[in-house]
Amino acid sequence: MTTIKVPMELRDRISQFAKSQHTTMAGAVERAFDLAETEAFWAEFRATMLTPEARADILRETEELEGTIGDGLEPEDWSEYE
């Protein structure tokens, strides 16, 4: 356990949010940080994977792997597990 210094206004905001979410202040900060990490991940994904070059790479790889879909084996009956 440690202590961090934040402005009183921020502490009050965290406290209010925590109460509204029925959690502790630590839980509220953790949730907010988790959300920020998730948003940063998807922003990075969009910045790198949705470029024209990345889409061209994905399309090329998809075309290369298309022939591997059919492995020549007979279909298996999985109906008893549905």
Each residue's pLDDT tens digit, 9-68: 999 999 999 999 999 999 999 999 999 999 999 999 989 888 999 989 989 998 888 777
Q: Is the pLDDT of residue 7 over 90?
A: yes
Within 8 A by CB and 6+ apart from 58, the residues are: 49
Give the per-residue pLDDT at 70. Answer: 67
Distance CA 73, CA 30 (A): 49
Distance CA 39, CA 75 (A): 41
Give the type of residue at 2.
T
DSSP state of 75: P
Q: Is the pLDDT of residue 82 over 80?
A: no
